[in-house]
Amino acid sequence: MREDIADQSVTDDAVYSRWKPFDDVCVDTWLVPVLPWHVRVHRVETTHELHSAEGGFALDRSGANVSSTYEHLTDDATAIARYPAGISVLEDLSGMRNSSMALQDSNVNLAYQRTIVPTLTGKLRPGETWLTTGVLATPDPQTDIPLQARPEVSIDGSAFTVTDATGDQIHQDRL
């Protein structure tokens, strides 16, 4: 959780923050809009092994007791939840984590009693790790999910570039 924010900035094409969940862990995070997606880029520096979990947007799952009213799709890098309340997609663009669905306990969410959150989990080794995630959500459960139009992130040392599905550069940054 982002409790100790050491630095932050906002530009026309990204939001940045540096935060420290523990004294010996530093995380740099950029949020970059690539409509209809947004990209999350995390650079994690740690002195010990970590277990990480990153969630997508929560969906209301109230009343979804009949399997024909919802859909869960997970593979190695993608988690998709489709409910009457909408669609939430989480895509591990770095290919380092496993996807799953987190059924939230009752009353965890302020707006809905029962929610589901697409989730990516993995282990991080000591040192520097870059995690990149594509995130998409819509309140329309009938929307075709544009997985073929997902953005891409390339990492080069201490710099990264976010491109859209056509290869146009959206954002470039360096530590």
Q: Which domains does the chain have, with CATH numbers?
A: 5-174 (2.70.98.70)
The segments of the chain whose pLDDT lies below 70 read 1, 63-66
Output the pLDDT for position 64.
65
- CB burial string 42-76: b at 16+ within 10 A, e below: bbbebeeebebebbbbbbbbeebeeeeebeeebee
Give CA–CA dist 143/136, Å, rounded: 11
pTM assigned to the model: 0.92
Strands (E), 35-168: 37-46, 50-55, 59-60, 71-74, 78-83, 86-92, 98-103, 115-124, 127-138, 152-156, 159-163
